[in-house]
Amino acid sequence: MSAEFKTSKPIYSQIADRIIQQFVRGELHPGEKLPSVREMAIQSGVNPNTIQRTYGELERLGVVETKRGQGTFMTEQNEMKLKLRHDIQKEMIEAFIESMRSIGLNDHEIYESVNQSLKRSDHES
Amino acid sequence: MVFKGLVIKDFLLIRMYLFTWLAVLIVLYTAGASFAAYQKQFYLVFPFLLVLYVGHTLVLPVTAGILLKAEEKGQYWLHGTADGKRLLSSKLIVSTIVLLASLLLTNVLMAFSLMAANGESQLAFLEGQFPWVEGVLFNGGIIFSAFYLTTWGLFLWSLFHSMAQSPALRKIRWILIIAVYFITQTVIVRVTEWSAVKAFLQSWSIQIESPLSSTGGMNEISFTMDSNGLLVWPLLLSCAGFCLLFFAAAWLLDRKVEV
Amino acid sequence: MIMLEGVTKQYGTRKSLQDISYTFEKGKVYGILGPNGSGKSTMMKMIAGLVYPTGGKILVEGKPVSRKIAASLAFLSTEGMLYQNFKVEQMIHFFATQYPDFQREKAEELLAFMELDRRQKVSRLSKGQQGRLKLLLVLSRNTDILLLDEPFIGLDPMVRDMIVKGLVSFIDFGRQTVIITTHEINEIEPVLEEALLLDNGRITAFCNVEEVREKDGLSVLEWLKTNVKKEAVL
């Protein structure tokens, strides 16, 4: 399942993003053990040094913890998950607003169209 | 371990050729013998066998050629822990096994024909005796000629491939190869014509009791045989020459042949 | 460490490599990229000690390279590695006798991983299977240096993916110095650490793969294209 990587971003941070997303979606649980560097490298078809960097970066962000001789685990702090979700949410909304503005919508129009879309999808479900 | 691996590899490369060739020999002999028997002149099988024997001089160089051809593409065999001497001697050993197997089969066919012919009508020239001495000499002569051709072949093959890296030499390497061979031959012939050298070469001979000693017809044998018997010095010097060619080939293979 | 110092290879008037100086550091994975005829193969054969430089020096661990390097270097070449009338297991056996560092257990693992049938004859294998067998033979060795010359040539994407997985699973990262030549870069890009661009016998550019992504926002393939274009303009 070696996934495709986008060209614009270092591979190590793309894998980090992927792990964060899985964590926020609940596919990875707090305290869950991550695959070893080597396993993860094989799964994603990348150089193990890249995974090493990914785990290092995640640890720096406080998303994972490395326990000596045991491996790398997702953090057990619940606030972290909320914070990460908030970060992703913020990032997505900012990107959305930016692209709406770029096609010429003003803030009111953006608000209205989002509102309508939400009502419609409520109706359908 | 490394060398054994090489020998097994070379044997595997030649195995099918060997079995096919031995089968062809039997088929050829059966055809020849049947024809002779049908004509009610069984002795006709002997000239036929003689041709097969003489053809054996080519078995060794052809086998070695097939084995070298298998490595030519990419010359990947040079990427290994074995040096040129080992690489080439493995080829030579396996080729010799093929020659000996083929020669042995031909000898068996010869012995069988002799016995069959003897039962039919006494062969005058044999005087009722089995020609052991002639057989050994004849086999020896064939093996000698085969090694002559093969060591020259190995050396020229290495030389040929050594010249591949230089485009200037590359274009004329066939001519150079032929030139190297003929110049060497001419030099040897000239040197052996000097009376001092000639006297030395004939100074040591071994007498061989044989009723057939005057019937040898092959060039390579006549070089080491004359009416006095087997000349030892030419034989020893030739063998030394074969070794020289072999080591020169191995040296070239290690240092000059490129992938 | 593999050091090339002013290495030139000349065939008559044609220069296959021109004044190449570069150092391959121990334990890293390098990709040599470039069009056909750029000198990639010649460079690999030189590091393997099978082609001699006309000028300059090649040093491996400080010593000039010779044919003897084969004892600590595994080389996947584009041709001549496999004997057509051998069975897969006979090829493995032959390699095991020729290289003391050949690991039978690793070969067994790779046999399963590469989905090869040990009883099949090489001549009956598809191109993809032959490529996998070649990789099996070099990856089963425990060497300091691993040279892979065009491991993807003529293989379909499924097989290429498998080979990349094989590389990640069986390379000893950090210890083995790996050099891969290719012109089909996409599949192995995530495995590479450093990339070199070879064109007309010269190293025209080199980069650290992750840095190119981080600083320039380019994949190696795009980086390659911009560099080739620059060359063309010059």
SS3 A120: helix
Find chains touching chain C: ≥3 CB pairs under 8 Å: A, B
Q: Is the dihedral of CA C81, C85, C91, C97 positive or negative?
A: negative
Domain at C174, CATH number: 3.40.50.300
- State how far the Cα of B113 lies from the Cα of B211, in Å rounded to an integer: 19
**Is 90 exceeded by the pLDDT of residue B179?**
yes
Tell me the nearest-neighbour CA distance from B43 into chain C, angstroms: 42
| pLDDT band at residue A20 using 50, 70 and 90 as cut-offs | very high
Lowest model confidence (mean pLDDT) among B111-125, B207-221, C204-218: B207-221
Pair B258, B166: CB distance under 8 Å: no
pLDDT at B168: 81
Nearest-CA residue of chain C relative to A6?
A: C219
**Is 80 exceeded by the pLDDT of residue B220?**
no
pLDDT at B211: 47
Position B46, amino acid: F
Contact C100 B81 (CB under 8 A): yes
The per-residue pLDDT of chain C, averaged, comes to: 90
Contacts C165 to A, Cβ<8 Å: 2, 42, 45
Pair C1, C58: CB distance under 8 Å: no
- Mean pLDDT along residues B107-136: 72
- Give the domain extent around C98: 2-233
| pLDDT band at residue A124 using 50, 70 and 90 as cut-offs | confident
Parallel/antiparallel/unpaired status of strands B229-231 and B225-226: antiparallel
Q: With DSSP H G I counted as helix, E B as strand and the rest as coil, what are the percentages for chain C, rounded to 5?
A: 40, 30, 35
DSSP symbols for B12-79: HHHHHHHHHHHHHHHHHHHHHHHHHHHTT-GGGHHHHHHHHHHHGGGHHHHHHHHHHHHHHTTTGGGS
pLDDT at B121: 55
| pLDDT band at residue C230 using 50, 70 and 90 as cut-offs | low
pLDDT at C196: 92
Task: Please tell me if residue A50 touches chain C, with a CB cutoff of 8 Å.
Answer: yes
| pLDDT band at residue B221 using 50, 70 and 90 as cut-offs | very low
- State how far the Cα of B7 lies from the Cα of B13, in Å rounded to an integer: 10
pLDDT at C165: 86
- State how far the Cα of C168 lies from the Cα of A42, in Å rounded to an integer: 6
Q: B218 vs B226, which has greater pLDDT? A: B226
Q: How many other CB atoms sit within 10 Å of the CB of residue B249?
A: 26
- State how far the Cα of C46 lies from the Cα of C147, in Å rounded to an integer: 11
| pLDDT band at residue B196 using 50, 70 and 90 as cut-offs | confident
**Is 70 exceeded by the pLDDT of residue C14?**
yes
Contact C168 A45 (CB under 8 A): yes
**Is 50 exceeded by the pLDDT of residue B213?**
no
- Mean pLDDT along residues B82-110: 94
Nearest-CA residue of chain C relative to A39?
A: C169
Number of domains in chain B: 1
Lowest model confidence (mean pLDDT) among A106-110, A121-125, C71-75: A121-125
| pLDDT band at residue B207 using 50, 70 and 90 as cut-offs | confident
A37: tokens are: 């560097």
- The pLDDT tens digits for C123-157 are 999 988 999 999 999 999 999 999 999 998 878 88
Quote the ipTM score.
0.87
- State how far the Cα of C176 lies from the Cα of C169, in Å rounded to an integer: 13
Contact A10 C174 (CB under 8 A): no
> Closest by alpha carbon to C61, among C71, C52, C75, C53?
C71
Q: How many other CB atoms sit within 10 Å of the CB of residue C168?
A: 24
- Give the domain extent around B239: 2-255
Pair C5, C59: CB distance under 8 Å: yes
Apex CA B80: angle with CA B79 and CA B85, to 5°?
Answer: 105
- The pLDDT tens digits for C33-49 are 988 888 999 999 999 99
DSSP symbols for C181-195: EES--TTTGGG-SEE
pLDDT at B214: 42
**Is 90 exceeded by the pLDDT of residue B43?**
no
Parallel/antiparallel/unpaired status of strands C177-182 and C29-33: parallel
pLDDT at A68: 86
B157: tokens are: 């093959």
Pair B164, C52: CB distance under 8 Å: no
C48: tokens are: 């393997």
| pLDDT band at residue A125 using 50, 70 and 90 as cut-offs | low
- Mean pLDDT along residues A87-113: 92
Number of domains in chain C: 1
A63: tokens are: 């998303």
Query: Partners of B245 in the beta sheet?
Result: none
Which CATH architecture describes the domain A11-76? Orthogonal Bundle (1.10)
Q: A100 vs B225, which has greater pLDDT? A: A100
| pLDDT band at residue A57 using 50, 70 and 90 as cut-offs | very high
Task: Please tell me if residue B81 touches chain C, with a CB cutoff of 8 Å.
Answer: yes
- State how far the Cα of C92 lies from the Cα of C103, in Å rounded to an integer: 10
Name the strand (E) or helix (H) holding C181. Answer: strand C177-182
Q: Which of A7, A12, A45 lies closest to C210 in CB terms?
A: A12
- Mean pLDDT along residues B227-231: 67
pLDDT at C222: 82
Count Cα neighbours of B167 within 13 Å in the Cβ-side half-sphere: 8
